[in-house]
Amino acid sequence: MSTWINKDYFNWSVREEIGILSLNNTPENYFETPEFIPLDLLKNFIGTDQLKGMVICGVGRHFSAGAKLDSLYELSADADVLKTKMGRGQDLLSYIENLDIPVIAAIRGICFGGGLELALASHIRICSTNALFAFPEISHGMMPGLGGTWRSLQLSRFPDVLKMILSGDIVNAEEALEMNLVDKITTADPIEEAFLLLKKMTIDKPLKVIHSVMQAMRNSKTLPPDEALKEETRLFCELAADVAKRRNSGSAAGNE
Amino acid sequence: MTTTYTTLSFELNDAIGHLQLSQPPSNEMTLDFFSELAQITNEMRSMSEMKALVISGKGRHFSSGAKLAELIPLAMVGKSGTAALSGNEIENFLDRNNRSFLFFENLEIPVISAIRGVCLGSALEIALFSHFRFCGEDAVFGLPETTFHLIPGIGGISRITSLSGVANALEIILRGNTFPADDALKMNIVDLIVPKREVVQRAIEFVKNLPADYRKEKSRLYLQRYKNEMYCSS
């Protein structure tokens, strides 16, 4: 069923252990379907390359204007089809959010609707000074449907989110920073900035350390507090045992 | 108090407890320190007269964190067949430390960390388990564990994530770099920056003025009131 999703809608590349997923449906990089990249394909990309991080960005001037209304209306004709498709979109965003490697959304230009929901599912958002954010769904009698409401409430204050979703108003980079919707604004190319930050965060670090940090952070949101703390300690102990082992064999081979 | 401590000091003045990490200059958190910390938390359980607790470091710094050279050997599993050095040793050690930190977090009286100079690794973790954090303008923070191929292991990851959000927490932990007081304030990791010579004094003044029916769930409200008063009186 998902075979009709053409690879022409995205590019995938790997640079120094960092995966770069570019939405490629220029100029606005619309999603032709909520699952804008087949989940299995993305899993495949990330798994086979032992990546340490991922950048998500858009080809050209914009990040993404989200779902294309025409195709959404087409899907809506059959409620079950729409539900299935939206479910797949949700699964894709949850997969990205729960990845064991850091994911940065690098945002230029327009970041609307589903595009914003994708950015919110990433762990860090870096945008250019000309970036624009909005949930325009309301002007078509709809609302965010891929977790945008929930995820923006994790970052911003309730009144700000309410206003943004109900008004459909466009928020600029400064305002988005103020609202915590983005984490950094850069005058340079956000894709390059995201790549460099991921390099700084992951260079010289074993994959296991990166995975452990991601896991502990995820636990702090999903597990009861005591269990999250226990898990953190358990993960630490595993890593400490590795360090101890390395030091041991190092000193055995070395001077003492 | 009957116990004599060597790595920390504790005083109870005017119903305000003052716990100092006391191995200057860096107040490194040694294995001895962590045992004494567990001991002092036990003693505190019976100090019903204590109405607030201030935690600080002796001298110029809060603390540079745990002493790694002591910690790593605890994790050596099956070293030359010594069963005593099992994998559980470090886990028990960390669990106990975690209990000490949770003790502070769960206290029903206000607990504030007054931070000057460096506050790294487990030292930042202890501060994160306090109800409030005041720091001097010279304070330097960081969780450098991943640069040693470890992670913060006493609850730091979970606490910094809830205070500063996923994006900030992720960058702080994975980069392992240090950051100044201004950044810590912006990221909600400290509550107030005050002149460095006044940090402890201001922390004491702040907790003394908290209401008798103090509840840590209201910490944001208390801080807002205090900042408003500061603003009005300046």
Contacts of B196 (CB under 8 A, 6+ apart): B116, B136, B137, B138, B139
Cα–Cα distance, B7 to B24 (Å, whole number) = 9
Q: What is the pLDDT of residues B162-195, one digit of tens each?
A: 999 999 999 999 999 999 999 999 999 999 999 9
Cβ–Cβ < 8 Å for B170, A102: yes
Residues of A designated catalytic: 117, 137
Query: In this complex, do B157 and A245 lie within 8 Å of one another by their Cβ atoms?
Result: no
User: Residue A3 forms beta bridges with which residues?
Assistant: none
Q: Which of B118, B134, B124, B71 is nearest to B101 (CA)?
A: B124
pLDDT at B168: 97
Q: Which of B73, B149, B157 is nearest residue A216 as measured by Cβ atoms? A: B157
Q: Which of A125, A206, A228 is nearest residue B149 as measured by Cβ atoms? A: A206
Query: In this complex, do A220 and B158 lie within 8 Å of one another by their Cβ atoms?
Result: yes
Q: What is the pLDDT along chain A (256 residues), one digit of tens a residue?
A: 223 334 678 999 999 999 999 999 999 999 988 888 999 999 998 887 789 999 999 999 999 999 888 878 888 888 898 899 999 999 999 999 999 999 999 999 999 999 999 999 999 999 999 999 999 999 989 999 999 999 999 999 999 999 999 999 999 999 999 999 999 999 999 999 999 999 999 999 999 999 999 999 999 989 999 999 999 999 999 999 999 888 877 654 433 3
Q: What is the pLDDT along chain B (234 residues), one digit of tens a residue?
A: 557 899 999 999 999 999 999 999 999 999 999 999 999 999 999 999 999 999 999 999 999 999 888 888 888 764 444 444 455 788 888 889 999 999 999 999 999 999 999 999 999 999 999 999 999 999 999 999 999 999 998 999 999 999 999 999 999 999 999 999 999 999 999 999 999 999 999 999 999 999 999 999 999 999 999 999 888 876
pLDDT at A3: 31
Angle between helices A69-76 and A79-97 (to 10 degrees): 130
Contacts of A221 in chain B (CB under 8 A): 161, 166
Assembly ipTM: 0.90
User: Residue A14 forms beta bridges with which residues?
Assistant: A19
**CA-based nearest distance A108→chain B, Å:** 19
Contacts of B147 in chain A (CB under 8 A): 204-205
Tokens of B139: 């304070």
Burial class (CB in 10 A: 0-12, 13-18, 19+), A100: middle
Using beta carbons and an 8 Å cutoff, which residues of A are at the interface with B?
102, 123-125, 155, 180, 183, 197, 200-202, 204-206, 209-210, 212-214, 216-217, 219-221, 225, 228-230, 232-237, 239-245, 247-248
